[in-house]
Every structure is written in C-alpha cells, then in structure tokens.
Structure 1
Amino acid sequence: MFAKKKLTALFAAMAAAAAVVTVVVAAPAEAVPTTIPLKITNNSGRGDQLYIYDLGTLLTTGQQGWADGNGTFHPWPGGGNPPTPAPDASIAGPANGQSVTLRLPKFSGRVYFSYGQKLVFKLTTGGLVQPAVQNPSDPNRNILFNWTEYTLNDGGLWINSTQVDMFSAPYAVGVQLANGTTKTTGHLKPGGYNGFFSALRDQPGGWANLIQTAPDGTVLRALAPGHGIEGGGLPATVLNDYIDRVWSKYSSSTLTVTPFGDQPNTKYFGRVSGNVMNFTNSSGAVVTSFQKPDSDSIFGCYKLLDAPNDLVRGPISRTLCAGYNRATLLVNPNQPDTSPASFYADTVSNQYARKIHAQMVDGKAYAFAFDDVGNYESLVNDGNPQQAFITLDPFS
C-alpha cells in the first residue's frame, strides 16, 4: 500500500495510499459534491475526550493542509528546521455513545482520532511531520490514537481502515450509497481486540515485542513488523528460513506470475540464478530482476521488493510481496494465490498480519502494504457517495 515512513515523512503515505485506493470509476463529475458528510460514532466505551483531525493533500494542486469541521481547507504555513509546531487542527469528537457529523473535502488524506490527549504535529520546511511512534522520542508515543485513510475526488470515495503501520484503537469505516444501503469494513469480532494482543504475546520468535504500552502498562498498540525490525524488537532474520526455501525451490523450477486478473494472458516467469530472481515474458525476454530480499523488504514491500507505479515490475513485486507475507510461494507456483486456505499456513510468515485477519469480522484488513492482492484489503468505495462513516468500536 505504501512504503515505510520515516519520522519526517511528508504525507508520502497519503500519496501512496491514494495510488492504491484511487482507481478509475465511471462516474460523472457532478455526482460527487465539493464535500460529503462524515459521521463519526463513538462506541468505544471510553470516557476520554476524543480529538479528530482531517489532514490531507488537495489533489488539484498538491497543497498540504487540514480541514475544519465544515470541510474548509486550510493550507499549512511554512515550517522550519528544527520542525515548528503546526496549527491546532483538532476537532472535538463525540462522547461515548454519541456521534458528530463533519464534512470531508475532496482530497487524499487521513482522519486521525486520539483519546484523552491531542496529537502533536510539526512542520518542517518540506511539509508535515506525522506521528511515527516506532521512534521512542516521538511526542505521540504514549498517546492512544489511530487513523483511517481516504481519497475523495470526482470519481467517488475510497476509504479504508489500515494496520500497515500499527494495530491500535479499533474502528470501522463505511460509505452510504445512493440507494440508501451501506458498505462497511474493519469491524473486529467480539473480543477481537484483546484476542489479537493475546495471540501476538503467545507467538514465539519476538513477535510479542511489537506491543507498545503506556507508562502505566496499558496497551497502546502493536507496531507492524517492519517497524519492529527497525527498533530491534523483532529479529531482522525472522523470515530468512522461508526466503531461503523459496530461493532454493525456484532455482530449479519456475514461478509464474499473472498480475492482472482481467489479463490472464499476461504472464511473467521467474527463475533464480545465484542471488537474483529474473522474470521473463512470454517471448523469453528478461523484463525485470529482483535481488534476494530480506525480511524488512518483504514486510514493507519496498527496498529489494520495490514496486514502482508501472505495468511490469510494480505488479510483479506486489504479487511477490503478498506471496511472501502470506507464505503461499512454496505451496503454489502460480501467483497470486488468492485462496485464503493457503494463507499463513507456513510457520514462517507474517504472524502480525495473520493474527489481524483472524480477528476481523469479514476477514479483511490492510495488515501489510499490498494486502489488496486478491481483494483482501479493508476498503470500501462508491462512485456516488452520500455519506462516509467512521465507527470507533469497543476495546473489549
């Protein structure tokens, strides 16, 4: 979905998220107004003050800023080095058991929500510094918060829940269609929040070290495994055994990738030679090559598994990324494998993603960057949205 973010990421995640959720939909421009309602319902069961933030980038100009409750866009002022405090963009959220309705403007962005404390945002000379709680010194490290990602444009609304960076305060998203029906995704099963953390604690191999707690011991979140490697909590070699077995298998056999579901005749064929997996097309010409990846490249779907926005390397890379994270490359030489019965069956796989999907009502989540391969992402969209929804769910 997007590459790993650094402390000073300048809405790169939003731009990349837009690349995932912004797809071509035939809808007349007049079908989508300048703003649409966003109803936020607080079913968390918590008594903390809730704060809402709608931050994003105007798709027409690329300008970064924030929206108030009326959907009015406010550009960020210039930042500094060291970073300077950003204007307070917070909107008072609903109390437990209540709802508020805001207006979403047409941009690609995030809706953050935090419990009990306002989030700290700063501005550099290049743009906004977003929370990066994998960094122990991040000022938001001990705040309970989460966010959703969305794109609203003339083609419609795409809104998703995400765990690409962390699993934290539970929520679901939805969109109301013109016929009055609603699409929704992101709800956990009853007991799913605590069930996820319990399962992660029980997983040997350092996975429990992904969990971050507040000074009083309260659970705040679990970091995604790439961030766990970055902070030293998860071994950098955690997937090496599986990577080695994949490399061995395709040194003597062929991995066939059919990256486009609507183009079954577009196939690429991978074979390992030394430290490189070369992919050829149906004519036998090499179209792209990948160095043997490491665990971090697989968890982040970047670095040695970079996925540019093209029609060859990117689609092959995203297919490989899904296959490595779900551990389907050894059981099926034809990828992508979109049968959930095959997912995470190997003892060496993305256990963080496995445990998140196991706790979702519909089985869908964005637990790694290309979790949308096979349509297993927690995304809803509509070309003529009447209203968007974010529902803050109970923690127990």
Structure 2
Amino acid sequence: MLRLFGRRILTVGTAIASVIAGSLLTAGTAAPAHAAVPDTIPLKITNNSGRGEQVYVYNLGTQLSTGRQGWADASGTFHPWPVGGNPPTPAPDASIAGPAAGRSTTIRVPRFSGRVYFSYGRKLVFKLTTGGLVQPAVQNPTDPNRDILFNWSEYTLNDSGLWLNSTQVDMFSAPYSVGVRRADGSTASTGKLRPGGYHAVLDTLRGRPGGWAGLIQTRSDGTVLRALSPLYGLETGALPASVMDDYVDRVWRKYTGSTLTVTPFADRPGVAYHGRVSGDVMHFTDSAGAVVTSFRKPDASSVFGCHRRLDAPNDQVRGPISRTLCAGFNRSTLLTNPSQPDSGSGGFYQDPVTNHYARAVHAQMADGKAYAFAFDDVGHHESLVHAGDPSEASLSLDPFS
C-alpha cells in the first residue's frame, strides 16, 4: 500500500487499486485454473440513484502488460497519459457519458489495475505531473474536485481473473455496489447499503462527540458530498491527534506484562509471532525466540492510515504482522483478544475508543462487508468480489437513502 499525502500522485508501474485497499494482496494469490481471461470484459453500469444529474464515468489505471499509466475509453481501448508538467498540466478528457436515472450503460474494462470513477453533474478534474496522474484529494480545500459529488470502485483484471471492490478507505460518499457474473452464470455482489443506510452512516457520525461530525463535507447549497475517513479527519483538524491515544496506551500497558500472538496466515496456522512491549516498542519474536520485527508505539495517523509506525511492506513477516495489528487497533479488539486476528466480527468496535467511522459504515452494509480502512480485508471483512472466469462485471449507482 502506498499513500502520498495532499494530492496523491500515482507513478507509472504503481497498481492504483493497491493505493487504497488491501484487495491486491488477495489478487496476488493463486487462483484455480480457468479458461483464458479475455483482454476486456463488459462492465454494466446501472443508475439506480434516483438523481437527475448527468453521470460521468472514468476508467483509469495501470496497463498490466506494459506498466504504463493511462485510461480506457468505452470500448476498453487503452490510451497512455501524455507527459505532464510542473506545475501539473490538464489531463486529456477521459470521461464517458454514464447512464441516466433508471438506465444502464455497458463499457468494457481492460487488463488494468485501476479505478472506475463516477461523478454527478460535473466532470472531474485530473492533472498530470512529470511523475504521473494527480488523483482527487478532497481533504484539501483547494482541490478542484472538492465540490463535486463523486466516488470510485477499484479493480484488477489479470490472468487469474477479476477482483472488484467497493471502498470507503478515503471517504464515504455516493453509494454504489459492485458485482460479477461468472462463466457458469453464478453471480456475486457486495457494497450495497441497508435501506436507509446512507443517512444512517451520516447521522451516526453527526451524533458522535469528539469531532466525528466534522468528517462530513457539504457544498454551499447544502448538498452532502461525503464523510472523510478519520485519517483525513486528522489531516483537516476535524479529529484531534490524540483521538486514539487512550486505547493505544491501554494496549501498550497490557502487553508489557502479557503476550500478543499474531497468526497472520489463515492457510498457515503454524506460523505465529509473539509480541511483548518494552518501553515504547513492541517486539515480535518467532517460534525460536528471535526478534523478527518491532513497532514503536503508534499514533492515530499510524492506526487509521495503516502506515508510518504501522508500515506494512509487501513481505512475509513485518507486513502481515502490521496488517493484523492495524486491523486490531481500528476494530479495538487487541485488549479483548490476545490471539489475532479475530475469527468473527461480534467483538469489533465495542470499545469507546475505536474507529467510529468504520463502525458506522460496517453497521449499515447489507452484508456487513466494507473497506472502511486499508486492511479491512484481514479476516475477510472486505467488500470484494472475485471470479477466475468473469463474463461480466457490474456497478450499481445506488439510492441516497
């Protein structure tokens, strides 16, 4: 996972979907053998939003065969981005006309690791630097997309099939759900809110003291645009930097005198690491007692962003341990369960000090699944569909209810 603060720039060769969600860690695993995955597959976009504005769709990503960054048109044809500048220069208009309310549009998506953006009423503003594409960063009040109602899904299409998710890692905004149909006709879908769930998430944040209501951004006409993730709530000052300190302090005290066991691989239950705190540092040892990695006491940014003091490199030791720690901190289960990760979600978000944004989002998902923080896939609680033999993908723009 990579995060660049302020306005994110995705450089050539960076898998866009890996920036936000942990889904590509799943996508990298072996899949059963199937018939060859086609170079493009149809994506059916259905507008069930009930809104009357024009919808604009964008398919942006990294072409897996070349590592080049670019966009795909409605037919799935790849177009590389031109070289950008400093200051950033406008990107070519990659928008595709989306469906009107109650209608559907089908585009084709190529072998990308990328995002499908959609916006209501206005086109999104994308720019290019010498390092790559500048993504919207609406936690920045001067971002040109700040007052646009939009959202995005993430996907990877490669030799092993399609991975498609809904994500709330950066923000909770225009509701949508995703799905896939396999070659045998079976389907899977996720990301759909419960009836009334959109307003319930916002109302939960409004009713929570301590700055959580400040995550919600509105337009001057009163339109609610989104609720920022708590990581960006820290950046904008909506949440205090100390918002997770009490919980982190209690975890550190607990594991000064006891052991936290992390078993990060579901398919390798014999691989376990044991954490104990000494001063400001939690050291993890392997079965032989050797220290394999250590973590300094994290702050709220490290917890909500799963980065900095909880950095998770794509390796086989520190990264998997860090992912598990990050999930335990966000879900506030490290005090109640010294063997991580948790096998079920019943004990998640029960401590008064927790990721209340993630708690609200998960509570309103019809299947309980969401990507409310970067490693919400620990324990398979993420909103992700996969097919090794996809025949069609779907994106439903859902009601604001």
Band of TM-score, shorter chain: over 0.9
Aligned CA distance change for structure 1 residues 371 and 193 (closer, same or farther; 3 Å): same
Amino acid at match of 2:294: S
Give the whole-Å Cα distance in 2 for the aligned partners of 1:59 and 1:121: 21
User: Alpha-carbon deviations, 1:256-287, whole Å to 9, x = none?
Assistant: 01111111111100000000000000110000
Aligned to 1:204: 209
Go from structure 1 to structure 2 and tell me whether the alpha carbon gap of 1:197 and 1:2 turns closer, same or farther (over 3 Å shift). farther
Q: Distance in 2 between matches of 1:5 and 1:148?
A: 20
Partner of 2:335: 330
Give CA deviations for 1:307-365 in whole Å, capped at 9, x if unaligned.
00000000000000000000000001110113211100100000000000000000000
- Mapped to 1, the partners of 2:360 and 2:337 lie a distance apart of 22
Shift of 1:192: 0.3
CA–CA distance in structure 2, aligned partners of residues 377 and 3 of structure 1: 19
Aligned to 1:87: 92
Residue equivalent to 2:371:
366
1:118 aligns with 2:129: no
Partner of residue 7, structure 2: 7
Say if 2:351 is the partner of 1:346. yes
**1:312 has 2:340 as partner:** no
Task: Report the Cα distance in structure 2 between the residues aligned to 1:21 and 1:143, rounded to whole angstroms.
Answer: 32
Structure 1: distance between partners of 2:154 and 2:124: 17
Give the number of equivalent residue pairs: 396
The answer (yes or no) to whether the contact 2:35–2:389 under 8 Å persists in 1 is no
Give the TM-score of the pair, scaled to structure 1: 0.98
SS of the residue 1:340 aligns to: coil
* Residues 293, 304 of structure 1: 8 Å contact kept: yes
Partner of 1:36: 41
Taking the aligned partners of 1:208 and 1:201, their CA distance within structure 2 comes to 4
CA-based RMSD of the aligned residues comes to: 1.2
> Counterparts of 2:30 and 2:74 in 1: how far apart (Å)?
28
Q: In 2 relative to 1, CA 134–343 (structure 1 residues): closer, same or farther, beyond 3 Å?
A: same
Secondary structure in structure 1 of the residue aligned to 2:70: strand
Residue in 2 that maps onto 1:151: 156
Identity %: 68
State the AA in 1 paired with 2:85. Answer: G
Q: Provide the rounded CA distance (Å) in 1 between the counterparts of 2:187 and 2:124.
A: 31
1:174 aligned to 156, 179, 192, which one? 179
Q: 2:10 aligns to what SS in structure 1?
A: coil
Residue 181 of structure 1: CA displacement?
Answer: 1.6
- Which segments of structure 1 move beyond 6 Å, counting only runs of 4 or more? none
Could you tell me how far 1:80 is from its partner in structure 2? 0.3
Higher alpha-carbon deviation: 287-296 or 2-11: 2-11
Q: What are the Cα deviations for residues 15-70 of structure 1, in whole angstroms up to 9, with x where unaligned?
A: 44563342333355752111000000000000000000000001121100000000
Q: Deviations over 1:349-387 (max 9, x none)?
A: 000000000000000000000000110000000100000
Q: Distance in 2 between matches of 1:174 and 1:23?
A: 20
Cα pair 1:229 1:296 within 8 Å, conserved: yes
Gaps of 5+ in 2: none
Mapped partners of 2:9, 2:380: distance in 1: 27
Residue pair 2:357, 2:372 contacting (<8 A) in 1 also: yes
Deviations, residues 292-316 of structure 1 (Å, cap 9, x unaligned): 0000100000000000000000000
Q: Deviations over 1:143-162 (max 9, x none)?
A: 00000000001110000000
* Equivalent pair of 1:301/1:318 in contact (CA under 8 Å): yes
Bigger CA drift: 228-237 or 6-15? 6-15
Find out whether 1:106 has 2:111 as its counterpart: yes
1:301 partnered with 2:306: yes
Residue in structure 2 matched with residue 74 of structure 1 by the alignment: 79
Contact 1:21 1:150 (C-alpha < 8 Å) held by counterparts:
no
Q: Which amino acid aligns with 2:55?
A: L
